[in-house]
Amino acid sequence: MVTLYGIKTCDTCRKARRTLDDLGVAYRYHDLREDGLDATRLDAFLARSDWNTLLNTRSTTWRGLDEADKRDLDVDRARALLLAHPTLLKRPVLETPDHFLVGFKTDAYRALQAA
């Protein structure tokens, strides 16, 4: 099963959804703002990707954090921030049993069609 994690207002997430639809790839959409991000799912993400890749330091949510929250980050502090603010997750995240993609690249999504 393909699951796409994102938020509805994100242009990149919309582009990813359109691409999956155009390719005929069936997927389940998980809206991080509405559905949240639980510890079990986040730990699975962290097992498949580095926390530096998953933490979106260019987001509006990041800019709104206190400076103290942004300092001295490590995996545990990043994990706590992501659990408290799921929209800090770099989007979209596409997860299948065989693939884990953070961000959107058309070619990587097209490769799913062949898989």
Inter-residue contact 55 to 78 (CB < 8 Å): yes
Provide the pLDDT for residue 115.
62
Query: What pLDDT, in 10s, does the model give residues 58-115?
Result: 999 999 999 999 999 999 999 999 999 999 999 999 999 999 999 999 999 998 876 6
Is residue 13 part of the annotated active site? The answer reads: no
Which of 4, 10, 20, 81 is the catalytic position? Answer: 10
Provide the pLDDT for residue 34.
96
Provide the pLDDT for residue 74.
97
pTM score, whole prediction: 0.93
* Domains located in the chain, CATH noted: 3-114 (3.40.30.10)
